[in-house]
Amino acid sequence: MVDRMIKKSALTGGKYMSVHLRFEEDMVAFSCCIYDGDWKENIAMENARERGWRGKFRRPGRVINPEANRRNGRCPLAPIEVGMMLRGMGFDNTTSLYVASGKIYNAEKYMTPLRELFPLLQTKETITSPEELAQFKGHSSRLAALDYTVCLRSEAFVMTQGSNFPHFLMGHRRYLYGGHAKTITPDKQKMVLLFDNPDIRWDRFRHLMQDIRRHSESKGFGFRKHSGSIYNLPMPDCMCQQAES
C-alpha cells in the first residue's frame, strides 16, 4: 500500500500526506454535535447513541450543548472542514492525500466535497482490491493497522481528533525519523471561529490557516515532560544513547 501511494504521488516526487479523519457514525453521535441538523440526522444520531451507550445520554440532569461542544473544539471535523483547512494551509489539488478512517458517516454526501478539493485522494478501499481487503473485513484493529502503516510512511501527518491512533503514530514517527517527522495538530477552537464566520474573505482565511499551520506543525525532537505520554513523546527515554569516545 505504501509503494502504491508513492507511485500515485508522481506529481509530488513520490511524497504524500496522510489525514486521520474521525467522522464515523459512532464518533459523530458520541460528540453530540450538529452537522446537517435535519430530522434524519437527529433520528440517526439518537439511534446510534442508544445502540452504543444505552440510556447514557438520557439520564436526568444530563445537559447536551452542541454549540458549546463546537466552540470548545470537541466536535469532529467534517470532511469539508478538513478540505478547507488543508487548502487554506497551502495544500493544492495536486497534493497526494491518504485518508485513514473507519466507515465515514453518510460518506456519499460528506466525502464528495473533500474528493473535489483533493482529486488525488486515496483510502485503503481505493488503493487495494476487494479481494486483498477481504481478509481484513470484520477486524477493526487489522484495518486500523493498514491505515497506521500508510500514515507512518507519509511525508506529513494531519491529526484531526485526539485518540490513541494519532498519539501512538506521532510518537512512532518521531522515533522512526529521529524526531524530524512533520505532524500537523490544528487548533480546532481557533478554526471553528473561522469556519463559522460568514463574512471572512478567502485571503484572510488562508492567511490565518497558514498561521495555524506554522504553530501546529510538530518538528524537532520535542522532549517529554515528566507527566507526558511516552508513546506520544518517546524522546529521550526510548532513543539509543551513543557513548562519547
Q: Looking at the structure, tell me whether residues 81 and 64 fall in a common domain.
A: no
In the chain, how many domains are there?
2
Same domain, 123 and 46: no
Among 98, 102, 45, 107, smallest CA distance to 79 is for: 107
Are residues 63 and 1 part of one domain?
A: no
Ranges of beta strands (E only) in the chain are 17-20, 97-100, 121-122, 156-159, 182-184, 217-218
Q: Which three cell numbers stand for residue 149?
A: 502503516
Whether 206 and 233 share a structural domain: yes
User: Is residue 29 domain-shared with residue 100, that is, in the same domain?
Assistant: no
One domain for residues 114 and 147: yes
Same domain assignment for residues 108 and 53: no
* Residue 232 and residue 143 share a domain: yes
Q: What is the pLDDT of residue 108?
A: 92
DSSP 24: B
Same domain, 17 and 28: no
Q: Are 181 and 60 in contact (CB under 8 A)?
A: no
- Cell numbers at residue 83, please? 478540505
Terminal Cα distance for the chain, rounded: 42
Same domain, 81 and 197: yes
**Residue 244 falls within a domain, yes or no?**
no
Mark residue 114 as left, alpha or beta (left: phi above 0; alpha: psi -120 to 50; beta: remaining): alpha
Taking only the tens of pLDDT, the chain with its 245 residues reads 999 999 999 989 999 999 999 999 999 999 999 998 788 888 888 888 888 888 787 788 777 888 999 999 899 999 999 999 999 999 999 999 999 999 999 999 999 999 999 999 999 999 999 999 999 999 999 999 999 999 999 999 999 987 889 989 988 888 888 777 888 888 899 999 999 999 999 999 999 999 888 887 655 455 566 666 777 777 666 666 555 54
**Same-domain check for residues 84 and 47:** no
Q: What is the pLDDT of residue 234?
A: 72
46: containing domain: 24-73
Q: What is the pLDDT of residue 244?
A: 53
Angle at 143 between CA 137 and CA 147, to 5 degrees: 150
The per-residue pLDDT for 241 is: 56
Judgement on whether residues 85 and 197 belong to the same structural domain of the protein: yes
Whether the model clears a pTM of 0.85, i.e. scores above it, the answer is: yes
Type of residue at 60: P
